[in-house]
A and B are shown apart, each in its own frame.
Chain A
Amino acid sequence: MSFNKYKQTNYKLYFVGVLLIIAVLYVLLQGTGSSLRGIDPFTGNKLLIVWESYSGAEHKLFKEIAKDYEKENPGITINVAQIPWMGQESKYRTSLIAKSPPDIGRVDTTFLPELVKNGVVWDLTASIKEETKNEDIKPFLNQYIKAAIDSCVFLTDKKTLKKAVYGIPDQSNGVCLFYNKDHFIEAGLDPEKPPVTWDEFLEIGKKLTNHEENRYGVGLDNSLWWTFPFFNTHGTKFLNELGTECILNSEAAQNALQFKVDLYRKHEIEGGAWMSGGVNPEVGFTNGKYSMILMGPWNVERFKKAKINFGVALVPEGPQGTSTNVGGTNMVVFKQSTNKKESFKFLKYLTSKEVQAKWSNKLGQIPVNLESFDLVDKSNNKILGTFMEQMKTAISRPKVLKYGQLEEIINPLMESALKGDITVKQALDAAVKKINNEVLK
């Protein structure tokens, strides 16, 4: 018997073989990517590579701003590259390993401490002094929302308390109180009079709650970030002045968390939005389950599209007035950039009052530059006006190397307090001990 018998019946496998050869050739013959740094090969201009993670409309406007800057500054070319928000930290880390980070990168405020600790971002302090022709950098820093610029300033010498600036904020967000106006009307409340203090919030919450209809006055998240408005309005400090010790078990912090816990356990006006498997505040508000939630400006358009009749007010005042937590992003200049000073100049332009006003007017977002607040048209956007007002009292997050660790430690303990398994004091004492031992040690 000849082996040709096998050959005749397996043409399909030969076809696969040919396909493999074609595929190999395609992969091997494909060109290698090249990277250009410092100089634009087409124009000879100084080239600034910017990695940003803006969404569609923001990306378009950012490119427009970059083009305007190029026109005003001949000799500079800005190469804008959009990277996805998700996975951006891995992207930056690997680019640093490959020694090919961009000149400018947009990073989350919680990622900046890691970059500073690893010494990969450039200290902007000298450039600020040079540009402003002033040895005192405070006037320059004061133009920005305090909580936002605070996230860029780091203590470099604990003995002399010397600080350095490692970034410029480009976007800053906080939260406000969102309330369902239809629910207010149904409960016989004035929809134009949202609660101003936590006491009023509690009273109104009771009137809005209807357990039979599965409707609750309030829906709250449990994470640390979402609990900061309670802590902040009660005058709580998270870390000591040097940032070396957690002091979250103070009396003020206990009062703040106790109030939040009582909304669920004692007054039964919070709908368990924090529970695993519960309806989260965003979904609950969209579907009319919760009448009041704390929310950021990013959901305004979504709620409008869902045709919810809602209003936005300042976070209710506690003993220390109103305040919000803050989130956002900073622009940093990487040390490996060959055009550091030019990069800083562009960031100064991007966050100038004129450009920030343009950004705010076109996108309806909070500008980071306080001087631009008067240039923003708030007549047609009352909600933006409320958020801008709220940002004046925003407090930045604690600057620790791994902010995520704080959330991992404190969230389960706060959840235990909400469930009534432990007291608020026990939860905060345990959190402080763990944070001091595991995060700040």
Chain B
Amino acid sequence: MINRTHLLKFLIYFLLTFGAIVVLFPLVWMFLTAFKEPGLALKFLFYPTEGTKYDTWGSIYTLSNFKNVLNEFNFTKYFLNSLIVAGMAALFATFFAAMAGYVFAKKDFFMKKQFFYLLLATMMIPGMMYLVPQFVIVIKLGWFDTYKGLIIPHLASVFGVFLMKQFMESIPSSLIEAAQIDGASEWQIFYLVVLPLSLPIVTTLFLLTFLFHWSNFIWQLVITKPGSPLLTIPVGLAYFSGPHGSDWEVMMAASCFSIIPIAGLFLLAQKYFIEGMTQGAVKG
């Protein structure tokens, strides 16, 4: 007999499965398209049918798109550049946000609240508004077409400071006081007590920042010279698009490569990431 609990469970599983299909569909389409013969991306064709022009698996699927990406485009270079830019930007931005978050969470200073609200207010300004001023500054500093220009302008993250502050407020001050009694310096308290306890939120912010920089197209486009050895994956992928659509099969093959680090990072840090998201949410 089906009771109410079973029905509820079924409903939940049904909704979750539906949600999973919706989320996974673009990924599945990406993988399938990456393996499809050129010209078949937009054709609703997934398996061979006898008596048609597509009667073998080989007439539909191929590895040539991947070979094309690796041989004809500087994809390895784009990949490495993206790793350097996104990795370093995420590392530094998280580190600086953690330091600022600690100060706002555990230290007292003149007009602390007002200063914090002022910082939060800057989040209301759309990111695109910063493009031109940041570009001009980078040019004046002589950082055009350098890693410095790609990374440094995005190291200050107000969102990150906010996340860190919220999380670090939940760390008992008695732990910090105990470390002080043990003779720890201010830096030691931050580095050896607060930071390890904040690992879930640090991991979360690192992942979010990495993801942002991994796909930050417009800044990486304007700050590099055409044909520069510093081009990154988002810019590299844009070369597959033209005025009248895209080279979908090759573009999807390149996209398959581009999601590897993201997927790897999320898998590795999944535990901390979920912890970081939920702990921040329930903090009182």
Interface residues of A (CB under 8 A from B): 1-3, 5-7, 10, 13, 16-17, 19-20, 23, 26-28, 30-33, 35, 51, 53, 55-56, 81-87, 90-91, 94-95, 97-98, 100, 108, 173, 282-283, 286-287, 296, 298-299, 301-307, 327, 329
Contacts and interface: CB of A to CB of B under 8 A. Distances in A.
A287 B238 contact: no
Nearest to A284: B42
Contact of A31 (B146, B183, B222, B228): B146
B238 A85 contact: yes
Nearest to B85: A27
B91 interface: yes
B163 to A, nearest CB: 19
A407 to B, nearest CB: 15
Contact of B132 (A55, A97, A304): A97
Contacts of B54: 307
Interface in B151-192: 151-152, 179, 182-184, 188, 191-192
Given A90-B218, A98-B135, A301 B145 contact: no
Contact of A51 (B42, B53, B218, B226): B226
B183 A27 contact: no
Which 10 pairs of residues, A with B, have the shortest CB-CB distance?
A305-B39, A33-B145, A81-B226, A84-B238, A298-B244, A6-B192, A94-B222, A3-B182, A83-B226, A86-B238
Interface stretch (B11-19, B100-108, B136-144): B136-144
B147 A84 contact: no
Contacts of B147: 26-27, 30
A26 B92 CA distance: 13
Nearest to B178: A1
B221 A91 contact: yes
B44 A287 contact: yes
Contacts of A98: 135-136, 139, 144
B95 interface: yes
A366 B25 CA distance: 38
A363 to B, nearest CB: 13
Contacts of A17: 191
Given A85-B241, A94-B135, A286 B42 contact: yes
A125 B88 CA distance: 50
B50 interface: no
Contacts of A10: 191-192, 196
A2 B181 CA distance: 10
A17 B38 CA distance: 47
Contacts of B37: 305
B57 to A, nearest CB: 16
B43 interface: yes
B127 interface: no
Contacts of A51: 226
B251 to A, nearest CB: 11
13 contacts: A3-B184, A5-B182, A10-B196, A13-B195, A13-B196, A27-B151, A32-B148, A81-B225, A81-B227, A83-B226, A87-B217, A91-B221, A299-B244
B211 interface: no
Given A23-B92, A81-B227, A85-B238, A6 B184 contact: yes
B192 A30 contact: no
Contact of A327 (B38, B143, B239, B243): B243
Given A27-B88, A286-B42, 8 more contacts: A13-B196, A81-B226, A86-B238, A94-B135, A108-B243, A173-B244, A306-B40, A306-B42
Given A97-B136, A98-B139, A20 B91 contact: yes
Contact of B225 (A5, A20, A33): A33
A83 B91 CA distance: 30
A366 to B, nearest CB: 13
Contacts of A301: 39
Nearest to B132: A97
A223 B217 CA distance: 27
Nearest to B236: A84
A56 B148 CA distance: 30
B235 interface: yes
A6 B226 CA distance: 50
Contacts of B277: none
Residue among A32, A81, A84, A85 having the largest count of chain B Cβ atoms under 10 Å: A84
Nearest to B84: A26
Contacts of A299: 244-245
Contacts of B184: 3, 6
A26 B146 CA distance: 11
Residue among B146, B179, B239 having the largest count of chain A Cβ atoms under 10 Å: B239
